[in-house]
Amino acid sequence: MSAPPGGRTGGFKGGPGTEGFSYFQYYPVKGASAVFAVLWVISGALHVWQNNLRYKTHRLGFLLPWAPQIFMVGYIVREVCAHGKYGDLNLFITATVMLFVAPPLYLAANSIFLGRLLYYIPWLSPMHPGRVVSTFLGLDFIVEVLTSSGASIASNLSNPPDRLQTGSLLIKISLFAQLVLFFSFFVVVATFHYRVHKAGIRNNRSLRVMIYMLYASTVLITIRNIYRLTEYFEGWGSEMGGVEAYFWCLDAVPTLLNSAMMNVFPPASYLPRSRLTYLARDCVTERQGPGWVDNRPVWKTIVDPFNFASWKQGNEKDKAFWDEDDDTELAENNNKGGGRKEST
């Protein structure tokens, strides 16, 4: 957020080292952060068990256990700050950075899940499934760099005002970029959902659960991003930044609900283990195909993820394997949450 007015460097009068000084705009309530740290430990442990032990989907859901660990560290440090350490600059920076860099990981995780859905029904995909992952992961990496850099600079209130303004600007850019990315992601999901509905695929529970979970996840993280963006644009001393209840209701709770939702509905139990598994046009039979191959140079797949050039030329032969009539190996169809065999 913007530098404190009048050169003030904290939530209260005085400065570092003075009695009662806090780098927060309030005194953090005791106990709340400890509760959230424990809840994040539980959620993270469940993700490890679900992804690595029960379903053994190391590549598909590898990001889900990481975000809870970062949140856990952030809330543990925040709880330490609440016990008289709110004037410790290093602890304040650590808590701030941890709670800022974790949420964007869910965009990366969601893009992997969406990519697997698009591989599953390639004939309804609005873009190459692999480009969903590479495009959103690449942009999300840039957002992570901006977020971590901005948070570390803006939270160090010992920096000169112009330095604080730079950190605040980086955070604003990263938060706005997250909103744009999540909106774009939402549009891709909605487009795919519309095509699925139009194709008459309404009885596939796994597909339905995953689509609605992606919707819910996008909304929950967007609530958090809008809150943070508003907080930083209002600047120092605003009601939203100075009242801790806003943080708990609009940041802490939505992000935890997002992780808990993925514990209740683990993506690994609804998604095919292999990207080669696809749904045939009869909307019932699962087959093993060659996968959607994009033979374009890597730079073209990044610059033109939707392959507009191919559409313009009417050349889409590289993705038409699902229209072939030859007999392909049937894949085991198990959409009841038991997981599927990992392909080699």
What CATH number does residue 75 fall under? Answer: 1.20.1070
In a domain, 257, yes or no: yes
Quote the crossing angle between the two packed helices 66-80 and 89-101, to the nearest 10°.
150
**Residues in the chain, total:** 344
Could you tell me which residues come within 8 angstroms of residue 160 by beta carbon, excluding any fewer than 6 positions away? none
Percentage of residues in the chain with pLDDT exceeding 70?
77
CA distance 267 to 250: 25
Classify residue 201 as exposed, middle or buried by CB count within 10 Å of its CB (0-12, 13-18, 19+): middle
- Residue 307 pLDDT grade (very low, low, confident, very high; cuts 50, 70, 90): low
Q: Looking at the 3D structure of the chain, how many domains does it have? A: 1
Q: In this structure, is residue 14 part of a structural domain?
A: no
288 lies in some domain: no
What pLDDT score does 43 carry?
Answer: 98
pLDDT confidence of residue 210: 97
Domain presence at residue 330? no
Phi/psi at 54 (5° precision): -75, -55
- The pLDDT, as a whole number, for residue 154 is 84
Give 39-93 pLDDT, tens digit per residue: 999 999 999 999 888 988 878 888 999 999 999 999 999 999 999 888 888 998 8
Distances (CA, A) of 196 to 208, 239, 241: 10, 44, 42
Do 236 and 1 contact (CB within 8 A), yes or no?
Answer: yes
| 76, 155, 276, 280 from 63: Cα distances, Å | 21, 26, 22, 30
pTM: 0.83
Greater pLDDT, 52 or 326: 52
pLDDT digits over 224-249, tens only?
999 988 887 876 667 777 889 999 99
Task: Give the whole-angstrom CA distance, residue 65 versus residue 43.
Answer: 8
Cβ atoms of 330 and 286 within 8 Å: the answer is: yes
| Nearest C-alpha neighbor of 178 from the set 156, 147, 209, 217 | 147
For the chain, give the mean pLDDT.
Answer: 82
Q: Do the domain assignments include residue 333? A: no
What phi-psi label fits residue 307: left (phi over 0), alpha (psi between -120 and 50 degrees) or beta? Answer: left
Look at residue 59 in the predicted model and tell me its pLDDT: 80
**What is the residue range of 67's domain?**
24-277
The whole-number pLDDT of residue 88 equals 84
For helices 205-234 and 253-264, the axis angle rounded to 10 degrees is: 170
Residue 307 lies in a domain: no
Tell whether the model's pLDDT for residue 109 goes beyond 80. yes
Domain annotation covers residue 249: yes
Q: Is residue 282 part of a domain?
A: no
Confidence of residue 13 (pLDDT cuts 50, 70, 90): low
Highest averaged pLDDT of the listed ranges 93-97, 134-138, 247-251, 275-279: 247-251
pLDDT range class, residue 19, cuts 50, 70, 90: low
